[in-house]
Structure 1
């Protein structure tokens, strides 16, 4: 699934992968089968190179812990397909438990800027203003490199460390000198540089793993399943804000409790700017407000029941529709 330029690999796409290996006319060694398995999984995940620990776990499941002998074993086509299925399932299970979030940079975001004159003019102006810290109205050509870094993955520009050809592009467009440029000249230089980057990415996209925290309700689910732990947690949460309880309505108090204890509960930050997170809490707190209005004489037990009910609704919502917060864009 994807959202806002991000793609979440949670293993779902691997569940329907074709386990046939038509290129195998005869048998294959276990070592070769592992290479084929890793290649097929990567291809299904838009060329993503999986973290070593996921690959190692998949290999361990396929080889049943006997890596050396398995690699030397000759497998027929049926055996190879079966082992491929084991490998794929292992990777899918790992991604289900710990999804990987990536941005696939294929030049499309840059082309949107380049195809709209107004959007590009605003982009160039904002970059020029941000980089012109001394407000001289001039920037060196070499500032193009900073402009690209400033745009970043969110605007479709890969990190310089992931795109070695950056240096060649900058030199090709004479964008590494000390000559000073005005805003219009800077924009004229930036445009062909971005166009070439977009063209290269279109031919060979780059996949960038993002630092994103995904909230599926799993931690809250474990807490809710342990009645004693849940009771203790709820009582501690209430004690933590007990001084203000008499002056707060249920909705405000529950909001305070969630804001103070969200991390321990495995909930997304209440202050997050991500739209799905905001919508989640808006829906939940609307129910709290309605419940508070219907209660004429709220008691402590009634409040605790209401809080537990809200936590269960949050867990159900996150299980049905996980949300995530990007921390490095």
Structure 2
């Protein structure tokens, strides 16, 4: 298990594990032959063990099994040698899918919570802020039920697993709250609230240290992979750039101004794999950087061949920049 924090699952963990795949397989003590469904269960279990015991999302599992080298697997029988070869194919296919569309996960191992607990001033401020936010009627009192709301408000960013997202997290939080929050019915002042919250967080940190919980974040990593696939299809690029040119050539004189390119890219770019402007402020800076030299005198006119070449060059530059510095788009915040 890695240290706590945010981890990008881009296939590199799996590629590293492939180096010791035969040894990993030996540890599973397989029977002489296994069926196709047994192989799929084995492959998913092996992938999960590599990826911090994370259950693979259904769409990702389906994409891997659609690979040509893995079709019709459920109707086959596998001996040990075939298992090793096909397991290698499965994990490599999974690594490729994650390279194109990485998962962002938070590993909750109690380390973030311990940082708050170890600094008295930080914890006092946290408890005070939570109490103030939850005390909506300014009565200076909270019911014990509000301790659950305090944990919800802290959330993954502060190292607390969300309720009902994973069975393990839900059961863990429910049991800890029963232990600390069901000891009385009286309302809590700020000092009492802080004291009980401290005990809850200490138990939570200890439990997560023994068995961390991994949460998939609703964040899309835009690393240029979709854009590179688009650029690899010359016919599609030609078709799209022709449509772009006709749409921008409003005067029907066979020429397009360079100044019209950026607004068009900003509107249509996400269809090709560019990050949307609303993803974060870095996207605007990336556009500034790439378009700064497109038309320095703001007067360039392009004929169709020049237009196609320039658009392709701009997209290639975007792909290079995104590969070196991916954009993280918080889909939940966007909603």
Which one of 46, 49, 52 corresponds to residue 52 of structure 2?
46
**Residues 19 and 85 in structure 1, CA contact (< 8 A), matched pair in contact too:** yes
Alpha-carbon distance in 2 for matches of 1:119, 1:50: 36
Q: Say yes or no: does 1:35 pair with 2:38.
A: no
Alpha-carbon distance in 2 for matches of 1:98, 1:157: 26
**Residues 290 and 317 in structure 2, CA contact (< 8 A), matched pair in contact too:** no
Summarize the alignment of residues 113-192 of structure 1 with structure 2, pairs less than 5 Å apart: 113-161=116-164, 162=166, 163=169, 164-175=171-182, 178-192=185-199
Which shifted more, 191-200 or 85-94? 85-94
Per the alignment, do residues 190 and 86 of structure 1 end up closer, same or farther by CA in structure 2, a change over 3 Å counting? same
Residue 302 of structure 2: aligned partner:
301
Which one of 183, 189, 210 corresponds to residue 203 of structure 1?
210
Summarize the alignment of residues 222-241 of structure 1 with structure 2, pairs less than 5 Å apart: 225=234, 226-233=237-244, 236=247
Which one of 90, 104, 108 corresponds to residue 111 of structure 2?
108
Instruction: Provide the secondary structure at the position in 2 that maps to 1:173.
Output: helix
Which shifted more, 169-178 or 193-202? 169-178
Q: Which runs of 5+ in 1 are unaligned?
A: 240-245
- The number of residue pairs the alignment matches comes to 308
Residue 6 of structure 2: aligned partner:
6
TM-score normalised by length of structure 2: 0.77
Q: CA deviation at 1:191?
A: 0.9
Alpha-carbon distance in 2 for matches of 1:174, 1:222: 54
Per the alignment, do residues 88 and 289 of structure 1 end up closer, same or farther by CA in structure 2, a change over 3 Å counting? closer
**Residues 223 and 230 in structure 1, CA contact (< 8 A), matched pair in contact too:** no
Which one of 302, 318, 321 corresponds to residue 317 of structure 1?
321
TM-score normalised by length of structure 1: 0.78
Q: Which runs of 5+ in 2 are unaligned?
A: 251-256
**Residues 170 and 193 in structure 1, CA contact (< 8 A), matched pair in contact too:** yes
Q: Please list the CA deviations of residues 40-82 of structure 1 after superposition, one character each: whole Å capped at 9, or x if unmatched.
A: 2111111111123444555576764152342xx5x13x33321
Per the alignment, do residues 216 and 205 of structure 1 end up closer, same or farther by CA in structure 2, a change over 3 Å counting? same
Alpha-carbon distance in 2 for matches of 1:25, 1:266: 43
Summarize the alignment of residues 264-275 of structure 1 with structure 2, pairs less than 5 Å apart: 264-273=271-280
Q: CA deviation at 1:187?
A: 1.4
Residue 242 of structure 1: aligned partner:
none
Alpha-carbon distance in 2 for matches of 1:179, 1:126: 21
Q: CA deviation at 1:159?
A: 1.3
Q: Please list the CA deviations of residues 233-287 of structure 1 after superposition, one character each: whole Å capped at 9, or x if unmatched.
A: 2664686xxxxxx9xx95xx766444433433432232334xxxx3454254145
**RMSD of the alignment, in Å?**
3.4
**Residues 220 and 331 in structure 2, CA contact (< 8 A), matched pair in contact too:** yes
Q: CA deviation at 1:111?
A: 1.1
Instruction: Provide the secondary structure at the position in 1 that maps to 2:302.
Output: helix
Alpha-carbon distance in 2 for matches of 1:25, 1:215: 39
Which shifted more, 25-34 or 120-129? 25-34
